[in-house]
């Protein structure tokens, strides 16, 4: 598991930490093959006046400042230009969680202290009791990151945030579309009927499971049959569609309440 070694600075308190990704990739890996013989496609690192099969240690980073002209920066030089502030996570301010627009969130990391554990726990408890999120900037790898530190379920998590100028504007404005009170009230009723507690454990990547199942079938020489597609209801009138949806969601509630009552009676 890849980690970043850095430190959290809180006033004059210095807490060395490591960051571990909260999420692991769970994709099914496919290789690219030549269609005729299923030979794997390979990529050779080369250039016009270079030998074949260039080694990784012979590759450096270059920035093209003019057509065909590059300036190079080594990893050591990139590290040297970091300021003290950029080499650690210096907390700049504390804010309420509600102030951070969810669209800004990118990646999440567990924050684990490597020393100064008591200072770490004190900061975490204080943030929880004050219900505040810490905002800071740091450099992870070769990219400066805006970050938010938040206590959550007894852990301290770090979220990388997008900078505001990275957020694109909405491609189409539909705020001027008129609606009626009855339409909104019916939509609210559907929402009420479908409101349940959220439990992330209930959700799995079903398509990934289907792909893996298809792979197993192909290994056995079986054919992949197309899934049955249930036709969608072709209701043109919005009010009719909303009314039908209210009735459909109401039936689901009735079925569940009947199941609960039958379990209680047994």
Residue at token pair 């960051």: 19
Distance CA 47, CA 49 (A): 6
| Domain end point (choices 145, 166, 187) | 166
Structural domain includes residue 39: no
Check whether residue 236 and residue 127 sit in a common domain.
Answer: no
Check whether residue 21 and residue 140 sit in a common domain.
Answer: yes
Structural domain includes residue 160: yes
User: Encoding tokens for residue 29?
Assistant: 């890996």
| Domain end point (choices 166, 194, 219) | 166
Structural domain includes residue 124: yes
Structural domain includes residue 186: no
Q: Is 94 exposed, middle or buried (0-12, 13-18, 19+ CB in 10 A)?
A: middle
| pLDDT score recorded for residue 141 | 75
Structural domain includes residue 139: yes
Q: How many CB atoms lie within 10 A of CB 88?
A: 20
| Domain end point (choices 166, 187, 211) | 166
Low-confidence ranges of the chain (pLDDT < 70): 1, 82-86, 232-235, 251-266
184 Cβ contact partners less than 8 Å away, ≥ 6 residues apart: none
**CATH number of the domain where residue 106 is located:** 2.40.290.10
| pLDDT score recorded for residue 257 | 60
How many domains is the chain partitioned into structurally?
A: 2
| pLDDT score recorded for residue 68 | 87
| pLDDT score recorded for residue 101 | 96
Asked if 143 contacts 181 with a C-beta cutoff of 8 angstroms, the reply is: no
Structural domain boundaries, residue 11: 3-27+80-166
150: three-class secondary structure by DSSP: strand
């Amino acid at each position: 598991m890849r980690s970043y070694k850095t430190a959290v600075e809180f006033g004059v308190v210095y807490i060395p930490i490591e960051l571990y990704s909260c999420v692991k990739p769970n994709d099914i890996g496919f290789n690219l093959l030549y269609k005729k013989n299923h030979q794997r496609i390979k990529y050779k690192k080369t250039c016009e006046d270079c030998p074949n099969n260039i080694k990784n240690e012979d590759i450096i980073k270059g920035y093209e400042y003019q057509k065909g002209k590059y300036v190079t920066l080594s990893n050591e030089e990139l590290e040297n230009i970091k300021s003290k502030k950029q080499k650690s996570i210096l907390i700049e301010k504390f804010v309420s969680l509600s102030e951070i627009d969810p669209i800004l969130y990118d990646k999440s990391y567990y924050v684990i202290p490597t020393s100064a554990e008591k200072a770490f726990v004190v900061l975490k408890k204080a943030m929880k009791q004050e219900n505040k999120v810490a905002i800071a900037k740091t450099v992870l790898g070769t990219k400066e990151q805006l970050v938010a530190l938040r206590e959550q379920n007894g852990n301290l998590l770090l979220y990388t945030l997008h900078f505001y100028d990275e957020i694109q504007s909405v491609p189409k404005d539909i705020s001027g579309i008129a609606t009626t009170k009855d339409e909104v009230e019916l939509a609210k009723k559907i929402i009420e009927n479908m409101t349940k507690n959220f439990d992330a454990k209930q959700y799995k990547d079903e398509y990934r499971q289907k792909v893996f199942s298809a792979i197993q079938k192909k290994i056995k020489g079986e054919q992949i049959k197309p899934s049955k597609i249930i036709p969608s209801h072709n209701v043109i009138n919005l009010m009719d569609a909303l009314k039908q949806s209210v009735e459909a969601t109401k039936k689901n509630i009735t079925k569940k309440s009947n199941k609960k009552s039958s379990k209680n009676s047994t």
